[in-house]
Structure 1
Amino acid sequence: MNFSKKNHERVGQNAPLAKKPQKHDANLQKNSTLYFQVGLILTLLVTYALFEMQFERTVISINDYAILNDPDETIIIEPFKVFEEPVKQEAPEVLKKKVILNQPPKIVPDDFDQGKELFEIITPEQNTSGKVLTPEDVNVYIPEEVIDIIGVEQVPIYPGCEGLSTNTKRRKCMSDKIGKLISRKFNSDIASGLGLHGKQRIDVQFKIDKTGYVTEIKARAPHDKLEREAIKVIHKIPQMIPGKQRNINVAVIYRLPIVLQVQ
């Protein structure tokens, strides 16, 4: 019994000794983690040092090399033609555009110079002969005095504007009434039929003669059909009271732009 008891005590004493290897293993695991971290840091430092190192580079200049051409060598380039596939052209579809005539048209804007001649005046050449003329044979032609509407003493008076007293009011009244006439009579479909688009301007010039009738109508437009239409409409202007200079009837030049907006 004593022997058993002693053996039991020895076994009890040896039991704590069996736990020591477990503590040693834990220390080894901690050391392995530490070694791994240290190794990783060293690897990163070495990699960073490699990136920061400057390696010697050799730059080759094109001027270091010479291109040698054989003077006896002749290069012949055969003529050639690049084949181009024919492109089929389709006729563009013509869309009828809507034309809007300003209501009323833009008549003599501030930037339109009434004092500037719109058309060049051509003087016919005189035919001369060797015949000696006497004063009785000479018919002196005195051209009709034509004054611009801005400079005439009394502007022509359009029908319906008789009650106005100043030239400024009479000119404005005339512009308004001519603008309304153009808006009613001008065939704006002509512009769309011609394929025009956007803003189209027609410059018109005419003379109001000593009797008050409109004569010598001239027009300038992007197309001759628009010019003919503008002249046809201006012919519809009624007879006016003629302009006066020193209480004498005189011919007066009048200019206006007709503006079409084709949409």
Structure 2
Amino acid sequence: MVLTTPFIMRGKNLKIMRPKKNQELELKKNSVLYFSIGMAAVMLLAYVALEWKTFYETPEFAQNSEKLNDIDEVLPPITINLPPPPPPKIQTPPVIEIVPDDEKIIETIIESTETDQDKEIIDIKDIVVIKDHVDEVIPFAVIENVPVFPGCEDADDKRACFQEMMQKHVRKNFRYPEIAQEMGLQGRVSLMFTIQKDGSIDELKMRGPHKVLETEAARIISKLPKMTPGKQRGNPVKVPFSIPITFKLQ
């Protein structure tokens, strides 16, 4: 703090009072600079104190390091010895066998099958053509003359009459098997049979939910009467026909 003396006027004489302390010796003049230098020195010392690491050598580490040094001195350098190359294989010369000559082979003379001017040519009318007997099978839906069910001889639409008589035959001969009722079996059995060229029923195929129901359906078909065979272009042919039979418990 600088102390100054006020101006004193005495009459006409004016005197100026100067400060009593020397400004160059004032302690607060560079206080900010000194504070900054001190703060930086303290932070540096704190950083060095925190980061300084000291390692203490333990007896076990000293013993192990000495052993490692001894091992390095005692162990010889590691060398890798490659095995010698294998000896070259000596190939034995092939054995040549002398095979006796084969027996004389009789040559077969193949004569030409082409005709010449001296060969007689048979007339085409004298050639007999043997025809393979293949039974023609025509589906029921496209056959010209459908098989005739007994009782449909005078019907105008023999195709519709055939199907109606088949339904009557199934209803008339239908019988639900007792074992199927006890077991609770029901479902539809699909049947396919062929009306042969003589009007008989053959080649029965069926598929159903159980063997018992299939057996009953086959029994119904086996009771079909002999029919008038179907014809295609005036010739009797085989006609396949399929019908489903449904077994349903009440």
TM-score after normalising by structure 1: 0.43
Greater RCO between the two (CA within 8 Å, min separation 6)?
Answer: 1
TM-score after normalising by structure 2: 0.45
